[in-house]
Amino acid sequence: MRTNAIFNLIFNRKKIKLDPEDTALVQLEIIFVDQLKMYISTGIYLHPDQWDKKHKSVINLSTAGAINKKLADLTGKLRTAELRLNEQEAHLTRRDVLECMEEPGMKKNSFVSFMLLEIAKRKEIHVATRYRHNLITEELKGLNIINFSDLTLRNVQRYDEYLKDKKLEQTTVFKKHSNLKTYIHKAIDLELMKHEQNPYLKFEVVRGKHKIRTRLDDKEMKAIIKKEIKDPELAFVRDMYVFQMFTGISYRDMTFTGGQLKNNSGELWIEGLRKKNGEYYSVFLLPEAERILKKHRAPGNDQVFDILPQFDQNRKLKIIAGLCGIEKNITTHTARHTAASWMIRKGVPITVIRDILGHTKLDTTLIYAKLDNKTIMEEMKKANRNRK
């Protein structure tokens, strides 16, 4: 007979059939000595390609390491509790688990508890966004900002100082405050706190300026396109990157289906809703993109490109950059930046670029399409020639 509980991390426990863009919950399964089972939510939702079933770990995410540590810490906490019980010749029970999971101050008056529940309820947010929101709750607990009564002006100022001490970009600091305010407003709407108790009524956060994002210039774009690559998988990765460069489509939206392809009088378009924000986008396929589509398109109306997981795509893009003599760190997202800056260099109106990229706000497009020094110089020289 076993003397210890069994702990298993399980993804999509009910085995619901998931599309690539769908998410499912990761749970911790506990099988007690008496064979009874208990399941604990980790609050982590993943896409199917982000879970390694064999190793029971998160993959294909920039935050995978931190999430896997969180999962390991959860299991470790319960194993430690069980070892203490074993020393007393007792076994782990459901009640022990519940007591172990309960944290100091996490009661009905706890804003952190409220925030965690609201995050868990949200089905529309991406797994990485969910992780970042959960991280804010960890930061608040570290500063002992737990209950609704702790949401004071001074404590929000302390949180701001804490974020700046971590040397975060001001845009990131602003985003964290914005996320926190979302849950404060939700609590006010539910009458869990009064409007006048909102600490942000007296505290304003500066948005800050975004850094110029990495993108390729015309010479680097040409190097990527023209490079002869013999390895079939690397060549495919390069073609997917080039397709992004000439469409501006995000890598998540590269899972578009044949049904999203529209043929208008012989001209091909991709139309759809962005997975990130649900915003409509419409992209006309230039010859370079159409060539890649014909080369790699799978038959039927299912997903057009059999793309690699984003982590693998980015890893192989580093190899391609080296082969092409490009020193910049290129990723699936730099293709989108490149598309925006290339279109603006070619004179495409910024409002048209916004519709192509599927941005909700024009300000977002302006960040992507910020001109490089070479383009600014060329435009100033052109203006000077026209003056004469």
Quick one: tokens of 33? Answer: 């000595």
Residues 319 and 382 in one domain: yes
- The CATH code of the domain that includes 272 is 1.10.443.10
Residue 210 has a pLDDT of 61
**pLDDT tens-digit series, residues 180-210:** 999 999 999 888 889 999 999 999 998 877 6
Residues 234 and 379 in one domain: yes
Supply the Cα-derived Rg of the chain in whole angstroms: 25
| Residue that is last in its domain, among 152, 187, 209 | 209
- Confidence band, pLDDT 50/70/90 cuts, at residue 383: low
Residues 85 and 189 in one domain: no
Residues 364 and 261 in one domain: yes
- Confidence band, pLDDT 50/70/90 cuts, at residue 376: low
Q: How many domains would you assign to the chain?
A: 3
Residues 372 and 249 in one domain: yes
Cβ(278)–Cβ(262) below 8 Å:
no
Amino acid letter, residue 1: M
| Residue that is last in its domain, among 180, 209, 238 | 209
Asked if pLDDT for residue 107 goes beyond 60, the answer is: no
| Residue that is last in its domain, among 83, 102, 121 | 102
The arithmetic mean of pLDDT across residues 231-258, rounded, is 92
**pLDDT tens-digit series, residues 281-312:** 888 899 999 999 999 987 765 789 988 888 88
SS3 of residue 41 by DSSP = strand
Give the Cβ contact number of residue 363 at 10 Å: 11
Name the strands in the sheet holding 6-11, side by side, starting at the edge strand that comes first in the sequence. 6-11, 24-31, 37-46
Residues 380 and 301 in one domain: yes
Residues 96 and 112 in one domain: no
Quick one: tokens of 235? Answer: 């060549």
Residues 97 and 139 in one domain: no
Handedness of CA 277, 283, 288, 291 (dihedral sign): positive
Domain that holds residue 252: 218-387
Residue 352 has a pLDDT of 82
- Confidence band, pLDDT 50/70/90 cuts, at residue 106: very low
Task: Report d(CA 118, CA 226) in Å as an integer.
Answer: 49
Residues 137 and 200 in one domain: yes
Cβ(218)–Cβ(226) below 8 Å:
no
Residue 34 has a pLDDT of 82
SS3 of residue 30 by DSSP = strand
The arithmetic mean of pLDDT across residues 315-332, rounded, is 93
- The CATH code of the domain that includes 183 is 1.10.150.130
**pLDDT tens-digit series, residues 117-163:** 888 778 777 767 888 898 999 999 999 999 999 999 999 999 999 99
Residues 112 and 10 in one domain: no
The arithmetic mean of pLDDT across residues 211-225, rounded, is 85
> Which residue has tokens 């619901």?
16
Asked if pLDDT for residue 357 goes beyond 60, the answer is: yes
Residues 70 and 126 in one domain: no
Residue 184 has a pLDDT of 96
Residues 233 and 382 in one domain: yes
SS3 of residue 190 by DSSP = coil
- Largest distance between two CA atoms of the chain: 94
Residue 362 has a pLDDT of 73
- Confidence band, pLDDT 50/70/90 cuts, at residue 108: low
Task: Report d(CA 236, CA 229) in Å as an integer.
Answer: 9
Residue 379 has a pLDDT of 61
The conformation of residue 324, written as its DSSP 8-state character, comes to T
Residue 378 has a pLDDT of 64
**Please, what is the average pLDDT of the chain?**
85
Residue 174 has a pLDDT of 94
Residue 105 has a pLDDT of 42
pTM for the full predicted model: 0.55
